[in-house]
Structure 1
Amino acid sequence: MKVLLVVRWPVGGIRTYLKYMLTDGALCQNEYTIILPKIANSLQLQESLAELNIKFEWTPEGKFSFIKQVTKHVLFGRYDLVHTHGLMAAFLSLPITFLSNIKFIVSSHDVFAEHHFYGFRGALKRWATKLLFWRVSAINVLGQDAKDNLFKFFPNTEDNRVFPIRNGIVTDAFFHAKDEGLKSSLGLSEQTVLVGFLGRFMGQKGFKYLLSAVDTIVKQEMTNVRFKVLAIDANSGWEQAELSRIKELGLEDYFVFIPPKENIANLLAGLDIIAIPSVWECSPLTPMEALVVGTPVLASDCIGLNEMIKDTPAVNFKSQDTIDLREKLLSMLDEQNKPAFISFKEVARKRFDVKLAAKQLSELYKTL
């Protein structure tokens, strides 16, 4: 099958999703061309898929250039279907797919919120999304929470066009992950409880709630346990703002920033707790990865994330509730309940294996 993949911004979850899915046996036999802008994340994706016969078509970042590239491929590429990732890629592909009969799949990698539809621009976006959902052959949402969310905002969407296929990961590397001496590399004693925050520093990921909880714990001397929060410094404006805030609060001794690491599995194995204080998610990979490693998870009950940690040993707290987060964090600083997470590894390995998602997506391709 000849598939045109269209990706407007191959960042974060979309890049990892493509890396995991396209390398699986159920999907790697197809012939793929990927249209995307030539940015750092695109080059990383190309490198991770180097062993596959995938053609990368670079396009300027401008929207009209992007539309022109998609149009050219749909008209002359003789593809069996177009599969876009992210709503912006879908919107930019809509003009030519609307005028042609090509099969068209949209994978939505986010959920909708009320603020997306405020004002005139919001109303225009709602109308365009309705048009998009009317045109597509299939809407691939990344879980049941995401499907429920879609119907909350677009209740007239045809149910038989919506296919919830939960994310997955390549589990072996995480199942066999080993701590490579993370604490000693940071100059920490083994008795220090190392709490990881591996999300990006944007509002959605909820770092401010974790920072506030740590601030209260430290200032009110609520624990005698030595602990430190490890975070990833991608050297962006978000990180610099949070670093300044940490300094303002006098909490430099409780946070450590490290550069992005390619081997996230072994990094997770070196943590005592992974904290995920998100405000919303779609189908997050971090809790899957941590549970397969056997790292204790402290996560909010937000949309998408709550679905992922259901029926697992993960400890959850009310999203955006600093007090609840603080109390659960204090409890886990005293006792991480590591044996329960180690016992759950095999269940997590089977539940979150990308093979399940890849098989479902492959079957969807074939039915169109």
Structure 2
Amino acid sequence: MKILYVANIHRHFNAFHVPYIKWLRENGHEVHVAANGEEVVEGVNRQFDINIQRSPYRFENINAYKQLKEIIEREKYDIVHCHTPMGGILGRLASKNSRKKETKVIYTCHGFHFCKGGPIKNWILYYPVEKFMAKYTDIIITINNEDYQVVNKFNIKKKYYIPGIGLDISKFKDNDQEYDFRNKRAEIGVKGNETLIISVGDLTKRKNHQIVIQALANLRELKFKYVICGKGVEEANLKSLAKKMNIEDKVVFLGHRTDIKEILRVSDIFVFPSLWEGLGIAGIEAMAAGIPVIASDRHGIKDYAIHDKTALLCDPRNSKDFYESINTILTDKYLRNRLVMNASELINKFDISNAMGQMIKIYEEEI
């Protein structure tokens, strides 16, 4: 079989799909990828660089559609597997408008841009598009239960739910590796007697870091550091807010990090305030690392963050919720330990072995 993967950027494939591509290759299938970006994708037969833009309003996407259609018609793929919003739209349109009508089109939704409790404008803008695009899709795969319930309302023949796209949980649970607890904290600007509160995610409005800064302003007398790993357009606004709240000396912006696992191991609390997430791998990583999680009660996060069982859930628009949850974690050792223990057991369903096993079953059935 000849298979094309389509996404917005090539980095997406290396981040999430290398194990699946490897399995396909080992089982005699030819795998091509098409996306934007200069990153070389590991293990594929062929890579196409297509100027797909994340914004649907960019003129370049018209040319990207034409390029994809030409490639699909020329290469005569048996399966086109689409990922990410614009990769999903352009890949599906190009596939169904190509001359080879028997090409099977799969779309893995990594999280709809609309969700329960989310902005109304997102429902108005994105829900009709996803519903319309279902007719250009043979199979839809979702990675959280809420999106799967939405897909049930679409006119689609086959739909599947897979618990995430796979995380090697053992890498975060492995505590055998030696590391210097004190030096690691000092490296990121945390003193020995300070509580280390951490968030991981791009500095964007969707990630909602400002709500945590507002919450922590009520705990300014506490000896803590709030460390944010990520970069993005909201950095200046977040720094300004921290200064306004008189806690600029307690908020540390670490930018992009490649040592998240090590930082999580020396942290005391993980806070995940996103407005919506397809799943939110960062929250699962924190649970695997063995630290208590405080998270938004939104979208895919709720698949593993169960209030008062594996995490404390908050309204992402309410800083008081986060303040009270942080204070509770700090003062209730029994609750903290219970959350960590329960989470450690529940997240096993999101391990790469489980997600990949289910994806392989889908491939075997469809191939």
Same structural fold, with TM-score higher than 0.5 when normalized by the shorter chain = yes
| One-letter identity of the residue aligned with 1:295 | I
8 Å Cα contact 1:194/1:227 also seen in 2: yes
Equivalent residue, structure 1, for 2:280: 284
Structure 1, residues 22-56: CA drift from partner, whole Å, max 9, x if none? 45x588644321101125xxx2xx3xx53x24532
Q: Could you tell me how far apart the structure 2 residues matched to 1:239 and 1:271 are?
A: 22
Equivalent residue, structure 2, for 1:232: 229
Q: Which runs of 4+ in 1 moved over 6 A?
A: none
> What is the number of residues matched between the two proteins?
343
Match status 1:202 vs 2:193: no
Q: Could you tell me how far apart the structure 2 residues matched to 1:324 and 1:95 are?
A: 43
| One-letter identity of the residue aligned with 2:280 | P
Gaps of 5+ in 2: 53-59, 115-119
8 Å Cα contact 1:27/1:358 also seen in 2: no
Matches within 5 A, 1:182-331: 182-218=184-220, 221=221, 225-234=222-231, 236-310=232-306, 312-331=309-328
8 Å Cα contact 1:210/1:322 also seen in 2: yes
Structure 1, residues 57-78: CA drift from partner, whole Å, max 9, x if none? 1123421332133112211223
Q: Could you tell me how far apart the structure 2 residues matched to 1:358 and 1:246 are?
A: 42
State the percentage of identical aligned residues: 18
Gaps of 5+ in 1: none
Structure 1 residue 238, shift from structure 2 partner: 1.6
Which is worse superposed, 186-195 or 353-362? 186-195
Q: Could you tell me how far apart the structure 2 residues matched to 1:131 and 1:189 are?
A: 54
Equivalent residue, structure 2, for 1:367: 365
8 Å Cα contact 2:111/2:144 also seen in 1: no
Equivalent residue, structure 2, for 1:16: 15
Equivalent residue, structure 2, for 1:104: 105
Cα RMSD over matched residues?
A: 2.7
Equivalent residue, structure 2, for 1:354: 352
8 Å Cα contact 2:230/2:257 also seen in 1: no
Structure 1 residue 82, shift from structure 2 partner: 0.3
Equivalent residue, structure 1, for 2:3: 3
8 Å Cα contact 2:72/2:94 also seen in 1: yes
| 2:70 maps to which of 72, 84, 88 | 72
Q: SS of 1:267's equivalent?
A: helix
Structure 1, residues 213-241: CA drift from partner, whole Å, max 9, x if none? 112232xx5xxx4111001242x322122
Tell me the TM-score normalised to structure 2 length: 0.83
Match status 1:170 vs 2:168: yes
Q: SS of 2:16's equivalent?
A: helix
| One-letter identity of the residue aligned with 1:357 | A
Structure 1, residues 281-331: CA drift from partner, whole Å, max 9, x if none? 211111211111112111121121112223853222233222121111112
Equivalent residue, structure 1, for 2:80: 82
Q: Could you tell me how far apart the structure 2 residues matched to 1:191 and 1:242 are?
A: 25
Tell me the TM-score normalised to structure 1 length: 0.83
Equivalent residue, structure 2, for 1:134: 135
Match status 1:334 vs 2:327: no
8 Å Cα contact 2:210/2:241 also seen in 1: no
Structure 1 residue 344, shift from structure 2 partner: 4.5
Q: SS of 1:204's equivalent?
A: coil
Q: Could you tell me how far apart the structure 2 residues matched to 1:148 and 1:27 are?
A: 33
